[in-house]
């Protein structure tokens, strides 16, 4: 290379002298700005006028120019992609084909712009369209409305990338495509996300704005109710919709359409028939399966994708013990069955990105239509006047046809003939003369005056009408309104997405009525809930009803009367506590055994239920009092347990050989009463027990003789009597005040005489005469009896028969059922 360049004056300039120094920061800023604007204008954002990005516009125009119209046959997509890439869009073929395929997909566009044959993909991102050599396409009928008037100079054309072709800078777009089909795009530093809408609603709003230019967004929302997604589903609430339409930005919740089907003789099912926009059946099914495996979702037996057979259809089979409403609510919470759509109504206005409200978007569209109809009218007026000028010449020609023929025959060539026609006596214009010369002699002789006069009358009417349109803004807007109405009536279809009230973040209890239930746990670790009405009140000494179908050597050892909305604190034998809601315990028939508790809580193989407590809240002044079989007592603030962890919390630090017996809520102003298996009871003030944290073991509450153990412990309630029940079915009521207050750590006093025949104490609790008691036997037989039917006796009395037991049966659990809960 020569070290110098010859300048125009014959001198030379060195390369170094030709270099212009530029600051790096300045060059980077300029280059990045040029790049970002190129991406924004030429690739990523749609034009507010036709709602199309350049690639979509070029695809549609190329197919229009090549004649791939709705009334023609399909052509290979590979051919279309090649034509677009070669003439208008010098980018990768995959980008062009992806854009083409999206315009075919009825799950992406509310009104697809291209009709296709073959596999153009599915909502599942993993299922893309087939290769373009396999698929076929042609323009959809509604696309012709985007191109209507394209050959009437309604829009500007520009050279293509190499100057060999011209292409429209925007399409006439005879309907508001940007809102009807929406748009998505990511530019440099900005993105657009415009949801699709119902064509009828959008056109009605456009017409209203045409008639009422001062209309507000609120006025237009009388017509445009909200987005109308091609996949249907629900939009929850209207506040997000209003934000989108008024500010151009906002978020809306989308929820799948699902139905709970109760099948006779089989488990319930949840049938999903419509899914949120931009989700897929495959994604939802896979997510449900993963969450079931991870034990995040309970109550689901199987998930079946039946979409190919009946349209969108996901069948979720539930387990027999599942609550369908709770399962459905959890599906909405944890899977794409409920999603959010964040809208950003960003589009190009005069090649500048703008965030647009509903009103401004329709206003810009109307401005575009005013220009399109004006330019079309000007074009048609010019053509009508040109044709009228020719028809006028032909009418004159007919009157002097013989002279015209003679003048043409006597001419040497066409130029001389044209000159004669343009001069006296004819005085035709050049255009008229050329048109006459282009006609054959036979055509000249057959021209009918009546036909030409009829055409002239129509041309005069057309010219007058077009001049009126161009001279009156109201008339021009009436034309736009009429044409929009025709398109609306031709292509409208019912709304697919329904707008419903937003229930908010529904908790499970919002879907379940708060009602009394009885929760029962067996010794082998089965748990169930059932309505308290399942047990009829019986007289003392009755045989009861079957309350649970036991496995061999199994027995019910925990029973608690609570409500579906109450918290259940389940304390395990290893000193841990788990928190669940009452409705989370599976509901079973009275005679059913229940479900293994390991299906509900993460118990390990050596863990079992030690105690269950129910509460509606966690007040600061209340404390949990723990009573162990070895007589230990611990007091911890109740609010320490107001938290949830799937693997549980440490509740008490149990010493070796000890186990948890009872847990109850109390304050320092209360007394506690502990009851032992051998009939002893001790009452002491809880203020003597220092409050400690969760991971502590407590202090001595009751001194036990050898072979004895604590079986129950409660907060003293002097407004009620104490009911003591033995494992042989005997029991009695005792005035609670008969138990004297003592210091903790003593042996206490007698509560009931025990013996091998009458049994040993299995439970003690506080009752009033109006209360009812559930007594459960080791075989699962349960009796519900009024507490007032059980005799009130002194501390040394033997008690009376409460339940009739068969041989080898024992009472395993006693629970309280207040009459007020019926």
Active site residues: 134
* CB-CB contact of 251 with 340 (8 Å): yes
Alpha-carbon gap, residue 597 to 528, rounded angstroms = 9
Element (H, E) at 680: strand 680-685
3-state helix, strand, coil in the chain (%, to 5): 35, 25, 40
Specify the length of the chain in residues.
822
Which residue from 167, 458, 225, 477 is spatially nearest to 358, judged by alpha carbons? Answer: 225
Alpha-carbon gap, residue 539 to 535, rounded angstroms = 12
Which residue from 744, 658, 664 is spatially nearest to 703, judged by alpha carbons? Answer: 744
Segments of 187-256 assigned E as strands: 191-194, 234-236, 249-255
Residues 6 or more apart in contact with residue 124 via CB below 8 angstroms? 280, 281, 282, 283
Alpha-carbon gap, residue 723 to 730, rounded angstroms = 11
Which residue from 291, 268, 272, 260 is spatially nearest to 337, judged by alpha carbons? Answer: 272
> HSE-up of 733 (CA within 13 Å, CB side)?
19
Q: For strand 609-615 and strand 567-572, is the pairing parallel, antiparallel, or unpaired?
A: antiparallel
User: In the numeric block, which tokens belong to residue 665?
Assistant: 């809520």
| Whether the bond into 117 is cis, omega within 30 of 0 | no
Alpha-carbon gap, residue 353 to 575, rounded angstroms = 63
Which residue from 766, 764, 775, 670 is spatially nearest to 719, judged by alpha carbons? Answer: 766
* CB-CB contact of 795 with 749 (8 Å): yes
User: C-alpha distances in angstroms, 331 versus 269, 317, 339, 598?
Assistant: 13, 13, 11, 22
User: In the numeric block, which tokens belong to residue 271?
Assistant: 């049938």
Angle of helix 414-422 relative to helix 430-438, nearest 10 degrees, comes to 130
Burial class (CB in 10 A: 0-12, 13-18, 19+), 545: middle
Alpha-carbon gap, residue 725 to 559, rounded angstroms = 14
* CB-CB contact of 683 with 737 (8 Å): no
User: C-alpha distances in angstroms, 712 versus 33, 669, 674, 680, 762?
Assistant: 79, 20, 6, 11, 8
User: C-alpha distances in angstroms, 776 versus 518, 538, 560, 723, 814?
Assistant: 12, 13, 11, 15, 6
Q: What angle do CA 770, 776, 782 make, to 5 degrees?
A: 75
Query: For the CA atoms of the chain, what is the radius of gyration?
Result: 44
DSSP at 441: H
Which residue blocks in 221-280 are alpha helix, DSSP H? 239-247
Which residue blocks in 237-355 are alpha helix, DSSP H? 239-247, 281-293, 307-310, 324-334
User: In the numeric block, which tokens belong to residue 320?
Assistant: 């027999």
User: C-alpha distances in angstroms, 606 versus 131, 196, 651, 709?
Assistant: 58, 57, 17, 22
Burial class (CB in 10 A: 0-12, 13-18, 19+), 676: buried
User: C-alpha distances in angstroms, 46 versus 2, 147, 182, 433?
Assistant: 49, 16, 9, 49
Which residue from 303, 821, 316 is spatially nearest to 582, judged by alpha carbons? Answer: 821
């Amino acid at each position: 290379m020569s070290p110098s360049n010859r300048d125009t004056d014959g001198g030379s300039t060195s390369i170094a002298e030709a270099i212009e120094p530029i600051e790096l920061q300045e060059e980077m800023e300029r280059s990045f700005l040029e790049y970002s604007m190129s991406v924004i204008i030429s690739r990523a954002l749609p034009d507010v006028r036709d709602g199309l990005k350049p690639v979509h516009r070029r695809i549609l125009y190329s197919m229009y120019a090549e004649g791939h119209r709705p009334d023609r046959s399909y052509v290979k997509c590979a051919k279309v992609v090649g034509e677009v890439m070669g003439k208008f869009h010098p980018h990768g073929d995959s980008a062009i084909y992806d854009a083409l395929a999206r315009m075919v997909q009825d799950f992406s566009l509310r009104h697809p712009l291209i009709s296709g044959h073959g596999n153009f993909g599915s909502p599942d991102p993993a299922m893309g369209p087939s290769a373009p050599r396999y698929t076929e396409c042609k323009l959809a009928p509604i696309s012709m409305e985007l191109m209507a008037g394209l050959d009437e100079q309604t829009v500007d054309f520009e050279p293509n990338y190499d100057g060999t072709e011209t292409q429209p800078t925007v399409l006439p777009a005879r309907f508001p495509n940007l809102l009807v089909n929406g748009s998505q795009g990511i530019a440099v530093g900005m993105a657009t996300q415009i949801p699709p809408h119902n064509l009828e609603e959008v056109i009605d709003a456009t017409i209203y704005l045409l008639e009422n230019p001062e209309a507000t967004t609120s006025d237009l929302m009388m017509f445009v109710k909200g987005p109308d997604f091609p996949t249907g589903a629900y939009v929850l609430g209207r506040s997000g919709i209003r934000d989108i339409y008024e500010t151009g930005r906002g978020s809306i919740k989308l929820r799948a359409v699902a139905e709970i089907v109760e099948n006779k003789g089989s488990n319930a099912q949840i049938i999903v028939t419509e899914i949120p926009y931009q989700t897929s059946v495959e994604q939802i099914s896979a997510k449900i399966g993963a969450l079931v495996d991870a034990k995040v979702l309970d109550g689901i037996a199987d998930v079946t994708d039946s979409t190919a057979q009946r349209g969108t259809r996901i069948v979720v089979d539930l387990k027999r013990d599942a609550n369908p409403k709770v399962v459905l609510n959890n599906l909405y919470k944890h899977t794409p069955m409920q999603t959010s759509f964040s809208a950003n109504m960003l589009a190009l206005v005069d090649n500048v990105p703008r965030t647009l409200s509903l009103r401004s978007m329709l206003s810009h569209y109307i401005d575009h239509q005013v220009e399109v109809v004006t330019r079309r009218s000007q074009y048609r007026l010019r053509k009508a006047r040109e044709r009228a000028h020719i028809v006028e010449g032909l009418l004159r020609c007919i009157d002097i046809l013989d002279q015209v023929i003679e003048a043409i025959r006597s001419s040497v060539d066409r130029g001389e003939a044209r000159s004669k026609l343009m001069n006296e006596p004819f005085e035709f214009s050049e255009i008229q003369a050329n048109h006459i010369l282009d006609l054959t002699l036979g055509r000249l002789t057959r021209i009918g005056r009546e036909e030409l006069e009829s055409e002239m009358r129509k041309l005069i009417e057309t010219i007058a009408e077009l001049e009126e349109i161009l001279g009156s803004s109201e008339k021009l807007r009436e034309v736009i309104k009429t044409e929009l109405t025709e398109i609306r009536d031709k292509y409208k279809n019912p709304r697919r997405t329904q707008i419903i009230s937003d229930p908010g973040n529904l908790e499970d209890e919002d879907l379940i009525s708060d009602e009394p239930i009885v929760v029962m746990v067996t010794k082998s670790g089965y748990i169930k809930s059932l309505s308290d009405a399942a047990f009829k009140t019986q007289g003392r000494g009755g045989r009861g009803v079957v309350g649970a179908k036991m496995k061999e050597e199994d027995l019910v050892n925990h029973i608690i009367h609570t409500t579906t909305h109450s918290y259940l604190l389940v304390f395990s034998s290893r000193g841990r506590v788990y928190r669940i809601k009452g409705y989370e315990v599976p509901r079973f028939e009275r005679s059913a055994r229940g479900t293994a508790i390991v299906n509900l809580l993460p118990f390990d193989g050596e863990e079992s239920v030690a105690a269950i407590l129910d509460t509606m809240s966690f007040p600061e002044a209340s404390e949990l009092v723990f009573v162990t079989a070895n007589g230990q007592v611990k007091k911890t603030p109740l609010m320490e347990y107001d938290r949830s962890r799937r693997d549980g919390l440490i509740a008490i630090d149990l010493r070796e050989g000890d186990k948890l017996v009872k847990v109850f809520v109390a304050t320092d102003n209360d007394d506690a009463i502990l009851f032992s298996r051998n009939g002893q009871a001790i009452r002491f003030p809880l203020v003597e027990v220092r409050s400690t944290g969760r991971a502590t073991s407590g202090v001595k509450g009751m001194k036990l003789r050898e072979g004895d153990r604590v079986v129950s412990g409660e907060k003293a309630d002097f407004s009620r009597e104490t009911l003591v029940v033995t494992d042989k079915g005997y029991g009695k009521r005792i005035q609670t005040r008969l138990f004297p207050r003592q210091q903790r750590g003593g042996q206490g006093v007698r509560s009931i005489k025990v013996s091998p025949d009458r049994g040993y104490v299995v439970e003690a609790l506080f009752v009033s005469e109006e209360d009812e008691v559930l007594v459960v036997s080791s075989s699962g037989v349960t009796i519900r009896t009024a507490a007032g039917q059980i005799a009130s006796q002194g501390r040394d009395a033997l008690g009376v028969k409460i339940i009739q037991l068969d041989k080898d049966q024992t009472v395993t659990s006693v629970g309280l059922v207040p009459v007020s809960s019926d």
